[in-house]
Structure 1
Amino acid sequence: LHKFKTSGATADQNLLSPEAKQLYRQLLSGSDTAPQPGNPLDELLGLRLAAPDAARPGHYTALNASAAALHWQSHLQNLGSRYLSQAASVASEMNDLIGAYQMAQPSTGGAIEYLAGLDVIQDRLTPLLAACESELFTAQPNGPRPAAQLALSYQRDIAVLQRGVKMHTINHYTARRDEPTARWAATVTVHGAKVRTVAQRFPRTVIIDRKTAVTAVLTPWEGQGAPPDERALIIHDEAVVRCLATMMDLLWGSAMPWTGGTFVEVTPMQKTILEGLVRGDGLEVIGRTLGVTPRTVSTHLAPLREAVGVESLPQLTYWYGRHEAHYQDVSPLVG
């Protein structure tokens, strides 16, 4: 064992030298010859395979090899477990430093990096998220999220929130139908995140401190072979990132808050439209008041119809009339 500790021996090297094994057998035979100090005697003493013979000064006796083997096997296994545990924590402990280094040197990949493959994207995204200092904006466009993605999100998102980072997440409104995604929304909300849903389609996007953005590639695949499962752009150009952030801010403003619960929440825009419907105004009149098309007015109500479980505007108007008192604290966009 001393050899392993001090000489940098590798795992394929023997714990005992042939000379030490030969000396052990001599001790077992009761040889009258006293062994010379130093190796291989030191190996046997260090591994508890030999001990001084109290009756014969300068001589040694062999000890139980089975007991010694069990002792050192257990010791090395415990030692290995500690090293494995330390090895597993190295990456997580240095993630923030790795991300900070990568964000500070965008020139290594240019203003825009192109990544293909989900594993490649996740490996690149992990240190970037670990380096997030103040604000994280994420947009998840595909409604319910796979279990593997949710498990990774729990780990990443809660770690970010525990550092005091402000987190805003937009999901497509169909995520409200998925119980695991709803539990995720409820969990991160408890930890301080703000989650909303919208009916519009949007690209998957992550914006970190408004300095770095990761967004899905929307152009068709033109490479050879089957297209990768995911493709992404990592954008370091601050002007482009701020432009994306502004677009996400607009999307956030039209989104409906969601805490993962069953209570149906109404945005100021939706309340304005619903109050117009209750007054008897049509979509065209409401649209002119808001400066949008009747189709846009209807689009704003689509996630609310989904959440309430109705199909038509008259049904939604009736529902709102019965529950209007629950939304007194929501300020409409127009008086």
Structure 2
Amino acid sequence: MAISDTRGDGWDLSAPAMRLYEACALRDGDLVGQITAANPQAQRELLDWGLITLEDLPGGVPGVRDPQHALQRRTDEVLAAAEEQVALLKNLPSLSTRLMRHYEAVQLRAGASSVYLDDQAAVNARLQDVVGGARREILAAQPGGPRDRAILDKAVARDVVALDRGVELRTIYRDTVRDHPVTAEYARKMANRGAGRSAQYRTLAGAFERMIIVDREQAFVSDHIVAGGPAHAAWLITDPAAISVMARMFEAAWMGGRPWSGELRARRGGDARDTIGSSSVRGARTTRQQREILRNLCTGVSQKSIAGRIGVSERKMEKEIAALKALWGATTLNELIYQWALSPDHRVDDSAPAEGPAGARVEGEESAA
């Protein structure tokens, strides 16, 4: 039997315990006292192994037991514990099957098309990976209302990278963001980037579901299934049929939303500190020439005639129309005219002198300095 230098590890005796056993066997009371005083755990080891007894202490020395019997008892104990471990190992496959049955009942998986994420860190990490890998399009419906600056600062870095890759980014917010300077500042920055693709935003006054759809291949939605689940729990969905329905829901909400480029809602008394860039028009994103094109389209004038009126080629007119469609995310002329009618741009007064800023005032409103 090997002897450890300092302590027992459950499979062996420490050196102090071995010396104490030898002292007990020799009935050397002085040595027993010295070892016990210096190493109190040594006696505990011998008692655990069944090598000594404290029932009779002639001369204050513990009695020793036959080591063969003690070790046989120890062997029986170890074998019993090993049999329990073997039984556990044999039962693990069955236990795994039973647990997975309950887990999958909660997951409601269909070909691994939905994954339940109840850990906030896991939700955020998975969301960052999926959104960060977007190739074509990100559709986000955010009904939570105004966002705090910390969240928006992170979003700027992420969204700029996506837009620079050519990803189309459209977001629906609750109408309340129009009263929130921090969210408005973020929207202005992302919707008016100048060079490169800009993000598009719309707002809704009514209720709508939270969702983020990436490339119409993966989507995140809030959890409405697991009873008692945490508020931040979400589902990652990859089922094409489900995502197709969600995308149609988003498009319907998008069509019903009001275009928004970060302009704050006008306050009573003319308090409107929400100008965009150097323009003094709240929310205007179009140039004087673009607005002239749109006004002509609204009255039914053909693109060829409009080109003649403003003195540009038909090819240039086609490019202007395409740029206007992209600005509002419209796919048809009818949709473009509809979005123009909803936007602040259609109220811009372009009767100001040409050398002055287009839309120096808005009909019925005071100029925002």
Answer 1 or 2: higher relative contact order, Cα 8 Å, separation at least 6.
1
Q: Does TM, normalized by the shorter one, top 0.5?
A: no
Structure 2 length-normalised TM: 0.41
Structure 1 length-normalised TM: 0.44
Whose Rg is larger? 2
